[in-house]
Amino acid sequence: MTRLATLLGLELPLLQAGMGAVAGPALCAEVSRAGAGGTLALYREPPARAVRLVRQVAAAVGGRPFGVNVIPEVTGPAGCLDQLRAVLPELPRNGFVTAFGLPEADVFDAVRATGHPLVVQVGTVPDADTALARGADALVLQGTEAGGHLLGAQPVDSVLAAVRARHPHAVLAVAGGIATGEDLADAVARGADGAMAGTLFVPTVESTAHPDFKRRVVEAVAEDTLITSLFEIGWPHRPHRVLRNSLTTTADRAPATFIATTRVDGRPYPVPRYSAAAPGAGTTGRIEEMAMYCGRSCTRVTAPHPAAVTVARIRQEYESARALHTASHTRKSPVPHRIQER
């Protein structure tokens, strides 16, 4: 057990990222039932729909802990608070909240008042300092290896080393480069208390990502991803790591016309070219031109499986790797000299 697992009541110190268009109730519930930290993406969900989604997960997890993810940078501070005020009364006692990016102080106050742990994802040392000072129960330290929008400009090991040196007793997880149990064990050996994975869960059966999105993640290697700022409509001023496509490989910018349609609660919503929206299962149109967020860990992501199978594999690999780490450490430890009795 690591401090992250203890804090959140998990059997495996692994959080599933709350990815828009990917992390719906089915994925969240399946990951939680398997013993990891399933997380429901609230993204831009209006409060009433967010409540329905949380209730759906709560009914499906069988008492296991799960979380909800908010993105204050996308919803705005007021929208984020509206989401939280709606869903926090519905979140079971053992539930938790994750925030992508540093929230305003009001978010910390709202979550603290309910007694739920708050996990804040950051990408810089100053943001880590601020989040802990405001009362974050745990941090997820994101590196540039991660898929999706990037909160900093350093590799994950650099961020972890710097924050751990400043906050030796903080509960710290890492995000970026996690696709196997060995990856998770290595992160713990380097001083993390666990990890968050996103790319790993995109191709799972319960993920609501578009089938083409799932296929491309499975087929991709790290070099098929790049950091760009192209997909900025709806989420400007935040670089992101995506899979290369026809838009990223040309210097000519195409018109930002509507190229696809996505459906939420049965209602169609047009998607412009260069939108930050990822293609979900209900998206139709020019899927290939949409943002497919993907981290460098895709090299080690295997064919689609149910999320429970993926978590079980990670757990088995993690336990085996941790045993090897322990054995190696024991062999390297000096044997104390016996005091000869006279």
All structural domains of the chain, each given as residue ranges with its CATH number in brackets, are 3-208+301-323 (3.20.20.70), 211-297 (no CATH)
Burial per residue of 216-243, b for 16 or more beta-carbon CB atoms within 10 angstroms, e otherwise: bbeebeeebbeeeebbbeebeebbbbbb
Query: Which of 10, 20, 7 shows the shortest CA–CA distance to 280?
Result: 20
Q: Residue 314 pLDDT > 50, yes or no?
A: yes
146, containing H or E segment: none
| DSSP annotation of 172 | E
**Contact (CB, 8 A) for 240 and 149:** yes
Q: How many CA atoms lie within 13 A of 340 on its CB side?
A: 1
From 317, 61, 277, 85, select the one nearest 186 (Cα to Cα): 317
Model pLDDT, residue 138: 98
pLDDT tens profile 65-95: 999 999 999 999 999 999 999 999 999 999 9
pLDDT band at residue 190 under the 50/70/90 scheme:
very high
pTM to 2 decimal places: 0.94
**pLDDT tens, residue by residue, 221-252:** 999 999 999 999 999 999 999 999 999 999 99
- Among the listed residues 71, 5, 31, 12, the one whose alpha carbon sits nearest the alpha carbon of residue 201: 31
Q: Which of 12, 98, 13 is nearest to 4 (CA)?
A: 13
Three-state DSSP state, 276: coil
For the residues 282-306, what does the mean pLDDT come to?
Answer: 96
| Count of C-beta atoms within a 10 Å radius of residue 337 | 6
Rounded (to 5) percent helix, strand, coil in the chain: 40, 20, 40
Give, for 157, the enclosing helix (H) or strand (E). Answer: helix 156-166
Residues 156 and 90: their CA atoms lie apart, in Å, by 34
For residue 295, is pLDDT > 80? yes
Q: Residue 2 and residue 10: Cα distance in Å, rounded?
A: 9
Candidates 134, 12, 9; CA nearest to 67 is 9
Mean pLDDT of 198-203: 98
- Express each pLDDT in 112-136 by its tens digit: 999 999 999 999 999 999 999 999 9
Query: Which H/E stretch holds residue 270?
Result: strand 267-272
What is the reported pLDDT for 1?
A: 85
**pLDDT reading at 337 higher than 50:** no
The residue with greater pLDDT, 324 or 130, is 130
Give every CB contact of residue 200 below 8 A, 6+ residues apart in sequence. 178, 179, 297, 301, 310, 314
* CB burial string 11-22: b at 16+ within 10 A, e below: ebbbbbbbbbbb
Q: Look at strands 172-175 and 148-149 and give their pairing.
A: unpaired
Percent of the chain with pLDDT over 70: 96
pLDDT, averaged across the chain: 95
- Tell me, what's the pLDDT at 332? 58
Residue 203 has a pLDDT of: 98
Q: 144: Cβ–Cβ under 8 A, 6 or more apart, which residues?
A: 150, 152, 153, 154, 155, 156, 176, 227, 241
75 CB-near residues (< 8 Å, 6+ apart): 44, 82, 83
Q: What are the DSSP calls for 203-254, one per residue?
A: TSTT--B-HHHHHHHHH--GGGEEEES---BTS-S--EEEE--TTTT-SSPP
